[in-house]
Amino acid sequence: MVVKAQQPQAPPAGNALETALAQFDAAADRLQIDNGIRAVLRVCKRELSVHFPVQMDDHSVRMFSGYRVQHNLSRGPAKGGIRYSPLVSLDEVRALAMWMTWKSAVVNLPYGGAKGGVLVDPRDLSESELENLTRRYATEISIIIGPNEDIPAPDMGTDPRIMAWIMDTISMHRGYTEAGVVTGKPIAVGGTLGRLEATGRGLQYVTEEVARRHGVAVQGATVAIQGFGNVGAVAAQLLDQAGAKVVAVSDASGGIYNGAGLKIDSLLAYQKDRAKLSTAPGGDQITNDELLSLPVDFLIPAALEGQLHAGNADDVRARFIVEGANGPTTPEADAIFADKGIVVVPDILANSGGVIVSYFEWVQDLQFYFWEENEVNERLHKVITHAFSDVAATAEKHGISLREAAMVLGVGRVVEATKLRGIYP
Ligand code: NAD
């Protein structure tokens, strides 16, 4: 038996945890939160690190590392995705868990925040290796997940098929089907209609909201999207259908630009065979850096955190930034955008469509009663536009940015719940 160690790689540009903590501290100052509660919310409540073996197709055994982190449970069970990426680190998972707490609170879902991750590039594994890894990771974290405790969902590098394996693994352990243990599942095993598109659809709804409030028409507006996965590709498709002109999209390999508008359906078909967008037909090749500095109406970062930072924020020429990714903008870049008059719709509001419809899926699983797709989309629209109005009203009232307003609302609600429950014992 050959045991191979998994080599960790360099973390992405921009420190996600530093960004998350700086955003929290700013909101805590504004809310004048006392030092005790501030200390509670600056750290994650529970952090599980796991190291586990996986049997590979060549019968060798390889070790992998992963995490599941729960930030805060004051408002309900923990909720947050699972990321498969060689760049996953404990600090990144902590930051993502913290953002999930504020996100759930800002859209008023009865959840706390969590996140998980495994250091792996899923494209390096065969289907059976991916399934073995997923089932073993699910087993390792099974001691802290469950429909009443912590409900994972897809994030970068994971998808409905992986959620089905997690659900099945936990169900096998418990001896009965535990559909509500994860969301983002295929429809046939307790998933909900509309979940696959939910984050992208939510981005479309908030883009329409921010456009309406600034007197801009989405019809004919230009859009550039970094990241063409579950979030970016669906947003591209829905904004294209809504009449916007998506002029540039990218993936990790680079991007493609066409000033007359890209043919999104052709790009989706092209990408099905795992083809790279940097070689896609229908436009000119561009780098990810070039995409971020295009003169467009809407820039949607939908890949990694830390993509818009002090080093490139000055080059950004978009009118609006609608954050599909979690933590794509550092605090330094935020300040530059504020100076330049660029309106940023923050991640914890803009990409909340995913967790909102995950919540709907969980509710349906707990009730064994499933909704029509239009019901899901209508309820998503209602929840996300309501949250947008709350955030916009708070921003206006205090003369602050949408991010500061979203943080004030989200953090404020978590503080209220923490205080009402009291410090045990
Ligand atoms: P995904 O794995 O489906 O797609 C990720 C995309 O980003 C791919 O196109 C990939 O090639 C691209 N990418 C990776 N590294 C890149 C780089 N260095 N430069 C440019 N592009 C790069 O992931 P996803 O589910 O679409 O998630 C994308 C982002 O949205 C993440 O920040 C995630 O946390 C966030 N998010 C996801 C959901 C969800 O429901 N899936 C919900 C809320 C937020």
The sign of the dihedral angle between the CA atoms of 80, 368, 168, 77 is positive
Do 180 and 167 meet the contact criterion of CB atoms below 8 Å apart?
Answer: no
Do 48 and 121 meet the contact criterion of CB atoms below 8 Å apart?
Answer: no
- Dump pLDDT digits (tens) for 223-252: 999 999 999 999 999 999 999 999 999 999
Tokens 């239009």 appear where? 374
- The residue whose CA has the least distance to atom 22 of ligand 1 is 252
- The residue whose CA has the least distance to atom 35 of ligand 1 is 325
Do 214 and 343 meet the contact criterion of CB atoms below 8 Å apart?
Answer: yes
- Dump pLDDT digits (tens) for 371-422: 999 999 999 999 999 999 999 999 999 999 999 999 999 999 999 999 999 9
Task: Give the contacts of 364 (CB within 8 A, at least 6 positions apart).
Answer: 190, 192, 370, 371
Residue of 88, 201, 231 with the most ligand 1 atoms within 8 Å of its CB, for mutation: 231
Tokens 């352990």 appear where? 173
DSSP-derived secondary structure for 164-190: HHHHHHHHHHHTS--GGG-SS--GGGT
225 three-state secondary structure: strand
Pick from 253, 255, 317: which is nearest to 284 by CA? 255
The sign of the dihedral angle between the CA atoms of 308, 414, 92, 107 is negative
Pocket of ligand 1 (CB under 6 A): 154-157, 199, 226-232, 250-252, 288, 302-304, 324-326, 351, 354
- The residue whose CA has the least distance to atom 36 of ligand 1 is 325
Mean pLDDT of 119-137: 98
Q: Give residue 232 CA to ligand 1 midpoint distance, Å.
A: 7
- The residue whose CA has the least distance to atom 29 of ligand 1 is 325
Q: How many CB atoms lie within 10 A of CB 355?
A: 26
What's the confidence (pLDDT) of residue 5?
43
Mean pLDDT of 38-62: 98
Q: How far is 2 from 57, CA to CA, in rounded Å?
A: 12
351 secondary structure, DSSP code: T
What's the confidence (pLDDT) of residue 14?
56
For the chain, the average pLDDT equals: 96
Q: Give residue 324 CA to ligand 1 midpoint distance, Å.
A: 8
Q: How far is 361 from 116, CA to CA, in rounded Å?
A: 19
Q: Give residue 166 CA to ligand 1 midpoint distance, Å.
A: 20
Q: Which residues pair with 408 in a beta bridge?
A: none
Q: Is the pLDDT of residue 295 over 90?
A: yes
The sign of the dihedral angle between the CA atoms of 106, 108, 111, 112 is positive
Pick from 174, 175, 193, 176: which is nearest to 185 by CA? 193
Q: Give residue 148 CA to ligand 1 midpoint distance, Å.
A: 27
Catalytic residue among 45, 79, 103, 115: 115
Backbone angle region of 235, left / alpha / beta, with phi > 0 → left and psi within -120 to 50 → alpha:
alpha
Beta strands 254-257 and 284-286, pairing class: antiparallel
Q: How far is 376 from 51, CA to CA, in rounded Å?
A: 38
- The residue whose CA has the least distance to atom 3 of ligand 1 is 229
pTM: 0.96
Q: Give residue 14 CA to ligand 1 midpoint distance, Å.
A: 16
- Cα distance between the two ends of the chain: 49
Residue of 230, 299, 352 with the most ligand 1 atoms within 8 Å of its CB, for mutation: 230
- Dump pLDDT digits (tens) for 183-213: 999 999 999 999 999 999 999 999 999 999 9
Pick from 180, 96, 116, 3: which is nearest to 351 by CA? 96
Q: Is 115 one of the annotated active-site residues of the chain?
A: yes
Q: Give me the phi and psi of 117, to 5 degrees please.
A: -165, 155
Q: Output the six-digit token pair for 301.
A: 């970062």
What's the confidence (pLDDT) of residue 272?
83
